[in-house]
Structure formats: structure tokens, C-alpha cells
Amino acid sequence: MQSVLRLTAARGRPLYALVLAVVGVLLMAYTVVVSTEANAAVTLLSQGKPVTASSVENAGTPATAAVDGNTGTRWSSAAADPQWIQVDLGATATLSQVVLRWEAAYATAFQIQTSANGTSWTSVYSTTTSTGGVQTLNVTGSGRYVRMYGTARATGYGYSLWEFQVYGEIGGGTGCGTTNVAQGKPATASSVENAGTPASAAVDGNTGTRWSSAFADPQWLQIDLGVATPICQIILTWEGAYATAYQIQVSTNASTWTSVWSTTTGTGGTTTINASASARYVRIYMTARATGYGYSLWEVAVRSGTPTSPSTQPSPSASPSPSTSPGGPIQGGGSLGPNVKVFDPSMSGATIQSQVDAVFNQMESDQFGAGRYVLAFKPGTYSGFNAQIGFYTSIVGLGQNPTDVRINGDVTVDAGWFQGNATQNFWRSAENLSIYPSAGFTRWAVSQAAPFRRMDIHGDLNLAPNGYGWASGGYIADSRVSGAVGPYSQQQWYTRDSQIGSWVNGVWNMVFSGVVGAPATGFPNPVYTTLNNTPLSREKPYLYLDSGGNYRVFVPSLRTNARGISWASGATPGTSLPLTSFYVAKPGDTAARINQALAQGLHLLFTPGIYHIDGTINVNRADTVVLGIGYATIIPDNGVVAMRVADVDGVKIAGVLFDAGTVNSPVLLELGPSNSSASHAANPTSISDVFFRIGGAHPGKATTSLVVNSDNVIIDHIWAWRGDHGAGIGWTVNTADQGVIVNGDNVLATGLFVEHYQKYNVVWNGQGGRTIFFQNELPYDPPNQAAYMNGSTRGYAAYKVADSVTSHEAWGLGVYCYFNVDPTIHAARGIETPNNPNVRFHSISTVSLGGNGVIDNVINTTGGPAQGTATVPSTVTNYP
């Protein structure tokens, strides 16, 4: 980015009261499921029982591994159909649920069958559209033997299960009744947040109403059952503002209380607690909050009877909530948290306006604040509002396709907060919406880390701020604009796999690949570089609602030689994953817990917030999806590597901001270990909208932001930024050598933004690499030339291809200098590369911004110096 003015950002906190009803709409989608299924018996019958299978892949994947309670071991079959795995429960059982924890090689068609003798089988569940992950199946039936009978595989491999869990009752059962004896009974509380969240709402049987307290500790909610009642189970359905520490207390007189259960590690969601007592009054006594808000419960259910044991046990129902037992399996799914604001077509434009304004008023100028938000719109038509988008805010449609959500109104980014200068409009996004703008155009005046994906604009798209102040370049993908796209004052821009009516102009570097309607290549005048197709692309995974109102994540398929939008002929091709196959992480989660969830076979979704981690997150399973929403931010403490990915196929990482901690990390994100060698050509790992920050919010340090060791990786839109303004900024303060090092072969980068690193910003060691669009500024702050030397060479190139590389190609590269501490500093070259006919560069610009420093040559010793206050680019069209 081009501006170096220091900011004093206005800090604020969410106007929580304005959005409670919205969060209620979001959570209702799964709490209804919880309330209707919480009666399922909770006894796990299958663990450790005798098990057999039709086949095993090898000695390391026996049938016993599926019932050993270890989510790091698995059974896998031969690669043929059909296959089965069966467990002997030892006695006839009444069954309530079966939980299948699939490895990547799952069944698309299978049955759950029961038998009294292991010979004659009855089907109690069947499907032909399974999507794998963690599947929780409510079943009705009985038998001594239970088996999964698979008839169609999702992959070319066999069937593979981390765990095969059967729940139910042997003999007479638990004796715990199914009636909620608390429903409709008198309820009181220590406080209420407002008149709309009374204590009675937690026992009214309506999962769309809730009790919430004042923002203080401790708080309590108490229920009068009317008479002394034998109590066996309490089920708490938490809203996003849950308790981490609380007790279940009982009393005969509402004066003297006895604790029958307690925890200091509550995880929210739906918690099922087995507790033996006889009492008239039941109280939830809460002492520590998970958020800065109060406590909030959708429902409290109390069951009467004799419990199985006086201990907590996670419900195996389809409730999307984490386990309350730290030693047991972690459940998938869960609340998306209070900072995901969900809108419904029934809401008026005025209501929506007030709520989006509340977020924008906090986030408009809060460049380095802690707020993180998603504005999410359910499928339907909306009218009469202008959603202005500030920092760390994502506006998204929850349809499967952009046309599922129509906004007759505006989605706007402008730069009034910064006097009409948009060069610092970072960290915000728009996705999956159809916009019919009120003035005939949509304004999206952004710079780095502000993707515009899967957008359908019925009119023009203006990429400049009001008044046409400077903007520093951005990114569009998989979008359609019926009218003209006007970059105006944008210095550079990259558009991929889209459709536009026309393109108005360009300043220095406009790059297109796979764009219908793009202008022809004319570089350097006009400044267009156009590739007819994108050689390889995979769109970013995204959250949506299915026809039943359930949250799912859609994972688009790989495209080869892509051109135009992926949804031109209907739904984008790809795979849909239920939210229950994801560990839904929340701020405060540890790396150990996240790794446990990943080891179980869950995908990973980071809800909006800031995550301090004291260990490396390890992604070891092929095809794992790691999705952040609302600019979820990971800060590695104590110098750890934030995330490592194994050398496996098809991992997708998207929507995450890695923010270096105050102790130096050697790497923030590593794709593949250093000895990676496997080919992933058929199913590459991809990263999309993944951002890195060194300093700005605090004095961060990391030697390298991104290291790519695996082959065939797709790097689709990253911004790796060593901060030049904000907090913790200085040549010896926010230290960082390189932004990106690519060691893998056949790696493709589409939209590579890397800036201000102290040595080479990009180092490319792998063979067969390709980059479409590169944007860079050299570091602003070397104190003098002596501090910015590469041996005897003045400065470092922005983009370095190793001398050993014999094949490489790049299109549309811009390198700028702004040595504002010492404007006499020189950098010898913008690009440094071996001289080889198969190492080729196209459309390169170097620019000295206002004459603050000199770049002597564009590439190697070719291309004249970029210098002088006129800010005129020096260009090379093709090299060699």
C-alpha cells in the first residue's frame, strides 16, 4: 500500500444488544435439531466389543481400530464393493444412534443393519448421498449385532472409519425419563439483559427465545419444579455467550444449595449432564464467561428418573456441539458465535440498516482492533439499505449460488475515514451476493486483502473512492459485472475467472486471466496483461444453508484452463460438507484441542475472533478443509510455527489471517515438510484469501511468512505484509526476512501480494512455477544503504528465481520503492532471475513513488531505472 501516514484508530466494542435477535435466527437452525433429539440414550455400547469386517486393507488398519475409542486409528477395507464392518454388542440392545467418523475414503451409499444372530440382517438406515465427515444417525431398532454395509465408495480406495460408535440401552435401560419436567415451570434469575430475554424464555420449550444476563459475574438461573423431584439429567442449550465455569446446584427450599456437578472448562453448545439428586429447585450457577457479554441460554431441560452415573457425558445426538469431556471424542458443528450476524428476508430494510451500521460504526477506522464480523444473508430478496463494509468485516450470501441472495440496495466500501485515500482499506470482503445497486453502480474502493468473490453486480463496479483518491490494488474472482468495471485511481488490480461488460482504464498494472470481456493485452500502453484462461484454479470454500436450513460448507472442484464464472450453467461443481463434519473453533481454543479434532477426521472452521495458540496446528489428513470466517486471526505465541500441512492431497486453507507474535516464529504457515516429494497434480493443496501480517497490531516477528514445500500447490490470493505503519513498527522491531519461499515444483500463484520484507520478498526454488499477477513494495524503512545490502549488491530484488531453476513463467509484475527513511537508497533490481529461455517474464513495471529511492533495473540488468518525482514506471514487456 502506498500511504505511510500513522493512524490513531478509534476503538469500540460490539453493540451487542442490537444484534441478539439476529444471532437467534442463526442458532435456531441447529437448536431445533437439538431439542428434538436430546432424548436419545447416551450409553456407548460398541467401544472395545468384538468386531469383524469383510476385509482389511492391511495389518495397520484392522477392524478393531474402529471401536477402540482412539480417533487416530482406523479400519480400512479392500478397494472393492460391497464391504462391511460389524460389532457384537454382547447382548440384545435397543438402539438409538450410530456415529460414523469417516476418514477421507468414505461411503456415498451404505446401510446400517442390525441382527439378532449375525446372519439375518434388517436395515435401520440407508443413504445413497452420504458426504462423509462425522455422521450422527438417529436409528430405531434392536439387535445384538450392528453393521455398516457399504455399497458405493467416494474414492478409488476402500472404506475407512476412524470410529464406528453404537449408542443405545442393554436390557432395561437407564431409567432416566424423557419428559422435560422444567418446561413451563417458574424461573428466576440473578439479572436479565433486557425485557426481551427473561428467565422464563429458558424453560418455555421455544428454542428461538432465550434468557440472557447482565455482563458481570457471577450470575444464576433457577427453576422451581413445584415439588421434590428425582433428577437424573440436565440439558443446557447455550447461545454463543456461554459459561466456561459453572455448577449445577439443587435445593429443597431455594435457600440452601448443594452442588451436584461443576466444570471450569465449559465449551458451550448443547451440554448433557448426568446428575443424581432429589430436589424441588435446580439452579445453574455461573462464575466465568466465555465472552465479554453476559450468560445466555436458549433452553434448560431437566429429566426425572434414575441416572446412569453422576458424571457428565456428551450427548451423542445430532446436536452440533463440542464434547464436554476433554478425554472423549470431540463433536463436530456448533454455534458460529455472536459476531456472525444473520439476516432474514422478512427483516425490513430499516432493521437491517441499523444493524449493519452498528458494525460499520465500530469497524470503519478500527484498522488494528480486535473486532471480527460476518454479515450473513439467508437466501431471498432484500431491499432498502446500504451495507458499508469496514475493517475485518465480511458480507456474504448464504445461498449456494450468488443469485440465491438478491440485494436491491448497496454494498459499499469508501474511504471517508481516511480523507478519501483508499490505500489502507484492507481486511474486508464480499462474497456470494447478487447486487442491484440503487445508483446503478457498486463502489468497492479497497486495497490489499479485500477479496470480491462470487459477486453478481447488475450495473457498474467502481473500484475508486469517492473523489478518486488513490487506491492500491485488489482482487476479483468468479464474479459477474453486467456493466463496466472502473478502476480509475487503482494502481494495480487482478481479475480471475470472471465475466465483465467492459473495463474502463488502468494506471500501472491491470492483469486478467480467464475473464470474459477483458481488454486485450497492450502492456505497457495500455497497461493490460490478459491471459485467455487460468491454467488451474479452485474457488474458495464457503459457508451456505441447504434447503433444510442446515449450515454446510461447499468445496468447489478444481478447474483446468478456466474461463468465466463457475456458476454460469447452474451450481458451481464441487462437494458439500455438513457443518457437523467441522470442528467449529472459537477464540480460547488451544492448539492441542484443535489438533485432537483434526486427528479425529474433522475439518476445521474458525469463527470470527483472535486465536492465541501456544503450539503448532497440524493438518495431516488429505482433503481437510480449514476455513476461517470474518477474518479469524491466528497469533502464534512463544515463537511456534502457527500451522503445518502434511505432504498430502487436496488440503484447502481459506479465509485465515496469520498475525506474527511478539516472539519470532521461523515460519507462520508451512505447506509440506522440507522433504516433500509426492505429486499432487490431480488434487493439489490450495490456499485462498490467506493473509500474513508482521507488525501493525503489535510488534510481531517471523522469519518467513509462507513456505511451500509440497508440489502442485495453488496459491490463490494472499497478502503477506510486513507492516509499515501501526504499532510495533521499525527496522529492528517487526523483523521479517522473506514473505514467501517456494521449494515445491509446479506451484501456481494467482494473485501474489507480498510487501516490505527485509530481504527477498519472494524466493522461488521449485521448478515449473508460474505466477499470474505480483504486487510488491520494497521495505520503506531501511535506515541507510549500508543496512540494505545483499553482499555487495545494493538492496534485494522483490522476486528472486533461484539460479538452479530451469523453468518458470510470470505475468504482470509490479515492484515499487518508497524509501522514506533514507530516500537516497538504491535497490539494484526489481526481479532477479537466471538467464534461461524457459525462465520467462511478461509485463513488468518498477516505480519509484515520488522519487523516494531508486530501483536501478527492472529485471537483472535490463530496464532503465525507476526514479524521480514524476512517478513514471520503468517497464519491460518480455524477458528474455
SS (H, E, C) 275-315: EEEEEEEEEEEEEEECCCCCCEEEEEEEEEECCCCCCECCC
Among the listed residues 95, 134, 98, the one whose alpha carbon sits nearest the alpha carbon of residue 115? 95
- Predicted model pTM: 0.68
3-state secondary structure 808-851: EEEEEEEEEECCCCCCCCEEEEEEECCCCCCEEEEEEEEEEHHH
pLDDT of the residue at 321: 35
Task: Please work out, in degrees rounded to the nearest 5, the angle formed at the alpha carbon of residue 653 by the alpha carbons of 496 and 563.
Answer: 20
Query: For residue 548, what are the contacts with CB-CB under 8 A and spacing of at least 6?
Result: none
Once rounded to an integer, what is the mean pLDDT over residues 779-785?
98
How, if at all, do strands 762-764 and 799-801 pair? parallel
Q: Over the stretch 440-462, which tens digit does the pLDDT of each residue have?
A: 999 999 999 999 999 999 999 99
Residue of higher predicted confidence among 455 and 57: 455
Convert the pLDDT of each residue in 701-731 to its tens digit: 999 999 999 999 999 999 999 999 999 999 9
Q: Which residues on neighbouring strands pair with residue 485, listed in sequence order?
A: 461, 503
Are 465 and 422 contacting, i.e. CB atoms less than 8 angstroms apart? yes
Q: Given strand 452-453, what is the order of strands in its sheet? A: 340-343, 373-377, 393-397, 428-431, 452-453, 474-477, 492-496, 509-513, 528-531
What pLDDT is attached to residue 15?
28
Greatest alpha-carbon span in the chain: 91
pLDDT for 873 equals: 97
E runs forming strands in 5-106: 51-53, 75-76, 83-102
- pLDDT tens sequence across 230-252: 888 899 999 989 999 999 999 98
pLDDT at res. 208: 83
Q: Could you report the per-residue pLDDT of 497-520, keeping only the tens digit for each?
A: 999 999 999 999 999 999 999 999
Q: Rg of the chain over CA atoms, in angstroms?
A: 28
| Residue 39 in this model has a pLDDT that exceeds 70 | no
DSSP character at residue 580: G
Grid look-up 528474455 returns 880
Provide the pLDDT for residue 329.
79
pLDDT of residue 263: 87
pLDDT of residue 774: 98
CA-nearest of 480, 337, 476, 344 to 402 is 480
Q: Residue 4 above 90 pLDDT? A: no
pLDDT confidence band for 175 (50 / 70 / 90): low
Residue predicted with more confidence, 856 or 270:
856
Report the pLDDT averaged over residues 170-196. 79
Confidence band, pLDDT 50/70/90 cuts, at residue 327: very low
- State residue 72's pLDDT score: 83
Asked if 57 is an active-site residue, the reply is: no
Considering 49-58, 194-203, 761-770, the range whose residues carry the highest mean pLDDT is: 761-770
Residue 122 pLDDT greater than 90, yes or no: no
Average pLDDT over the chain, rounded to an integer: 90
Which tens digits make up the pLDDT trace of 583-594? 999 999 999 999
Most confident listed range (220-229, 252-261, 278-287, 648-657): 648-657
Per-residue model confidence as pLDDT tens digits over 796-805: 999 999 999 9
Flag whether pLDDT at 790 surpasses 70.
yes
Query: Pick the catalytic residue: 431, 777, 809, 832?
Result: 777
**Which of 458, 134, 102 lies closest to 316 in space, CA to CA?**
134
How far is the C-alpha of 88 from the C-alpha of 114, rounded, in Å? 10
Give the pLDDT confidence score for residue 318 in this predicted structure: 29
One-character DSSP codes across 678-745: ---TTS--EEEEEEEEESBSS---EEEEEEE-SSS-EEEEEEEEE-SSSBS-STTTS--SEEEEE-SS
Q: Edge to edge, what strands does the sheet with 551-556 contain?
A: 542-545, 551-556, 574-578
Lowest mean pLDDT among 308-312, 644-648, 869-873: 308-312
Q: Provide the edge-to-edge strand list for the sheet that holds 643-645.
A: 617-619, 643-645, 665-671, 702-708, 738-742, 762-764, 799-801, 826-832, 854-859
- Predicted pLDDT of residue 171: 54
Rounded-to-integer distance, Cα 709 and Cα 115, Å:
50
Question: Taking residues 616-626, what's their average pLDDT?
Answer: 97
Cα 304 to Cα 832: distance, rounded to the nearest angstrom: 75
